Structure 1
Amino acid sequence: MKRSIVNRVAHLVAGIGDAGQRVLKTVRDHRSRLQRRVFSPFLLLIPIVCSNSMRAAPANIWEEFSVEKAFAHVQRLVDFGPRPAGSKAIEKSRDYIEDQLRGSGWQVTRQAFSDDTPRGKIQFVNLIAQFSGQGKAASPSFLLCSHYDTKMFDAIRFVGANDGGSSTGLLLELARVIGQHPNLARKIELVFFDGEEAIEQFSQTDGLYGSRYFARQLQSGGAKQFRGGLLFDMVGDRSLGITLPANSPVEIARDIFAAAEVLKLRNYFTYLGRELVDDHVPLNAIGIPTLDIIDFDYPWWHTADDTIDKVSAQSLRIVGSVALYYLSEFALR
């Protein structure tokens, strides 16, 4: 009811006494009730609308993985050329990896050591990264690992796009995504192993130089802080088929399969049916159950044809998404 009508009624009843005042009160009460009927439901909707517009949907961390960024890392590493231990190219790779990790909020430590090889003493450097953003100290309990060296060949130019490149690019992108979730990141330690490749043939003293040294340093007591780990190796094959070795930790393998099932990617993961010698072996030997996520059915393994055109961004996405789902929903929930 408009104010002019109320005023006219007030003018008409003025001077009529108590009866007039009662009429005026009735008119005002009617106006008040009418306003409440019209405006109250609308006002009640305002906080609901605002609340819904401001409430962000829960983030699925596995959907944050960027295939473009992961593939770009692989391309950059391949552009450095062959990257065997002790080479100038692997030093360029180290600088690149460190820069990318620091840009994502990780603190990087160089674990340098030398070891005897069939070609004499060689200097190796593992890169170890922890996250301590927002002023809180890291307390890692889970390892994510990759080797970043390539095998040394005299007769061919081996750039290791898949073998050494794909897993390193993947781990750098995982570091970026995980770094945006500090509570998760502080529970993880990243390790980039040098010297995974044997100088000649894998043996007790040739190959796995970085992981063997890393494990020895933890053996005095540090291994107990880690309840598990994932190792990535050769994860970029265009015809992806992750083949978990027979010596895989049963519980982690089960949960990786479950994560892949949820994401409808289970058909890309199976068992190899035999054991593999890789950087997970020294870690398992000191009591850190570590799963080797590897596609060992790769025709261009240790050939000059292990080039960037053999690497698929889609394969990197599959492995990265499953790893992130596993970490957030199983391992570190």
Structure 2
Amino acid sequence: MEIVGCPRQTPMQKQRFVTAFHRNALRNTTIVFLISLLQTGPVRAAEAKIWEDFSGDKAFAHVQRLVDFGPRPAGSDALEKSRTYIEEQLRRYGWNTRRQAYTEDTPRGKTHFVNLIAQFGAQKKAASPVFLLCTHYDTKVFDTIRFVGANDGGSSTGLVLELARVIGQHPTLAGKVELVFFDGEEAFEQFSDTDGLYGSRYFARHLQGSGAKQFRGGLLFDMVGDRSLGITLPNDSPADMARDIFAAAEALKLRSYFTYLGRDLIDDHVPLNGIGIPTLDVIDFDYPWWHTADDTTDKVSGSSLQIVGSIALYYLSEIALK
């Protein structure tokens, strides 16, 4: 039998036809397979474990850069250089930063302070952030020692900058987060109602009321780079947040690095909790070099920053903001 109007094919022509047919079929199958990979790519990316993207080495590099500016007390030129550096890094990662500047009376006279507040992207119609990630970036002023605050002021700032980089690669998550770098956490003399926590108090005063209701919670990071890491949550930690951060640490098999301090602590989380934003102070207060000239980068470890950063990202993506 043959098709009318078509010439009879020789055996060789038939073999060539069959071979070409199989080649085309294989090529078409390959194309379909590649297209399916492209189509499923975004889904797989969305399922990526975001906490695995955090780099302790990158966070440590930020710490080193900040320490290179020297002591960074409120109102100093070195702190202004730190501000510029922080703003530049955030801009690279897709965050828009605004300066919240103010002047306060201190035991050393009127002092100029600047909080840095960052939100992701430039879309005016984007949903408002609902969660705060905070740190202080100043160092305590001393007249008798050179205090560069590698861990106290440096480590948490480096960590939040690296969190900004990683979170910025996930726009949906980033849109839910506001970053705050507090100035003036350190007291000039001794913590009191009028000395210390200048930045967080000012931020809280201007947010209280309807503004505070926007945020369902926050994490404050302070002294998180100790080579001998042991995060000590204060007793005044919101119970449900402490439970969840412990759960995040447990999920990553890092629970042994987290415990309770055994007492309350005066830190930047206090004003935020005071206006109704449940905020957890993630801090390692068991640090022998606190407020000494020996708080230098050799006491800080990228591995410790890796641990805290990974747990924070797991907590955010899998629990708090899922």
Residue in structure 2 matched with residue 319 of structure 1 by the alignment = 308
Residue in structure 1 matched with residue 215 of structure 2 by the alignment = 226
Distance 2:238 2:157 in 1: 22
Distance 1:283 1:145 in 2: 10
Checking the alignment, whether the CA contact within 8 Å between 1:132 and 1:138 is kept in structure 2 is no
Which of 39, 42, 46 is 2:30 aligned to?
46
Aligned pair 1:67/2:56, yes or no?
Answer: yes
Q: Kindly provide the amino acid, as one letter, of the partner of residue 93 in structure 2.
A: S
Aligned pair 1:111/2:95, yes or no?
Answer: no
Distance 1:44 1:261 in 2: 48
* SS of corresponding position for 2:206: helix
> In the TM superposition, what is the alpha-carbon distance from 1:332 to its structure 2 partner?
0.9
Distance 2:23 2:96 in 1: 57
For structure 1, which runs of at least 5 residues remain unmatched after alignment? Answer: 1-12, 19-23
* SS of corresponding position for 1:256: helix
- TM-score normalised per structure 1: 0.86
Distance 1:68 1:78 in 2: 15
Checking the alignment, whether the CA contact within 8 Å between 2:233 and 2:282 is kept in structure 1 is yes
Residue in structure 2 matched with residue 8 of structure 1 by the alignment = none
Distance 2:56 2:107 in 1: 38
Checking the alignment, whether the CA contact within 8 Å between 1:86 and 1:123 is kept in structure 2 is yes
Q: Kindly provide the amino acid, as one letter, of the partner of residue 245 in structure 1.
A: P
Q: Kindly provide the amino acid, as one letter, of the partner of residue 224 in structure 2.
A: V
Distance 2:164 2:193 in 1: 31
* SS of corresponding position for 1:218: coil
Distance 2:124 2:192 in 1: 44
* SS of corresponding position for 2:265: coil
Q: Kindly provide the amino acid, as one letter, of the partner of residue 63 in structure 1.
A: E
Distance 2:263 2:286 in 1: 13
Aligned pair 1:98/2:82, yes or no?
Answer: no
Which of 264, 283, 293 is 1:304 aligned to?
293
Residues 267 and 52 of structure 1: CA distance in aligned 2, closer, same or farther (over 3 Å): farther
Checking the alignment, whether the CA contact within 8 Å between 2:209 and 2:275 is kept in structure 1 is no
Distance 2:241 2:97 in 1: 27
Superposed counterparts of 1:260-271, under 5 Å? 260-271=249-260
> In the TM superposition, what is the alpha-carbon distance from 1:280 to its structure 2 partner?
0.1
Distance 1:278 1:297 in 2: 15
> In the TM superposition, what is the alpha-carbon distance from 1:46 to its structure 2 partner?
3.1
CA RMSD in angstroms comes to 2.8
Which of 141, 162, 165 is 1:176 aligned to?
165
> In the TM superposition, what is the alpha-carbon distance from 1:43 to its structure 2 partner?
7.0
Superposed counterparts of 1:68-147, under 5 Å? 68-133=57-122, 136-147=125-136
- TM-score normalised per structure 2: 0.89
Superposed counterparts of 1:131-170, under 5 Å? 131-133=120-122, 136-170=125-159
Checking the alignment, whether the CA contact within 8 Å between 1:130 and 1:138 is kept in structure 2 is no
Query: Kindly, what percent of the aligned residue pairs are identical?
Result: 73
Residue in structure 2 matched with residue 241 of structure 1 by the alignment = 230
**Count of residue pairs the alignment pairs up:** 315
Residue in structure 1 matched with residue 5 of structure 2 by the alignment = none
Residues 242 and 48 of structure 1: CA distance in aligned 2, closer, same or farther (over 3 Å): farther
Checking the alignment, whether the CA contact within 8 Å between 2:96 and 2:122 is kept in structure 1 is no
Q: Kindly provide the amino acid, as one letter, of the partner of residue 111 in structure 1.
A: Q
Deviations 1:10-61 (A, max 9, x none): xxx9xxxx9xxxxx9xx9xx99xx88x9789857853664256544444211
Which of 181, 190, 195 is 1:201 aligned to?
190
Q: Which runs of 4+ in 1 moved over 4 A?
A: 37-45, 133-136
* SS of corresponding position for 1:146: strand
Q: Kindly provide the amino acid, as one letter, of the partner of residue 294 in structure 1.
A: I
For structure 2, which runs of at least 5 residues remain unmatched after alignment? Answer: 3-7
Residues 39 and 102 of structure 1: CA distance in aligned 2, closer, same or farther (over 3 Å): closer
Distance 1:228 1:274 in 2: 21
Residues 217 and 134 of structure 1: CA distance in aligned 2, closer, same or farther (over 3 Å): closer
Checking the alignment, whether the CA contact within 8 Å between 1:133 and 1:182 is kept in structure 2 is no
* SS of corresponding position for 1:293: strand
Q: Kindly provide the amino acid, as one letter, of the partner of residue 144 in structure 1.
A: L
Distance 2:266 2:119 in 1: 27
Distance 2:211 2:96 in 1: 19
* SS of corresponding position for 1:115: strand
Highest CA radius of gyration, 1 or 2?
1
Checking the alignment, whether the CA contact within 8 Å between 2:232 and 2:285 is kept in structure 1 is yes
Distance 1:125 1:289 in 2: 23
Q: Kindly provide the amino acid, as one letter, of the partner of residue 50 in structure 1.
A: L
**Stretch moving more, 191-200 or 260-269:** 260-269
Distance 1:43 1:90 in 2: 61
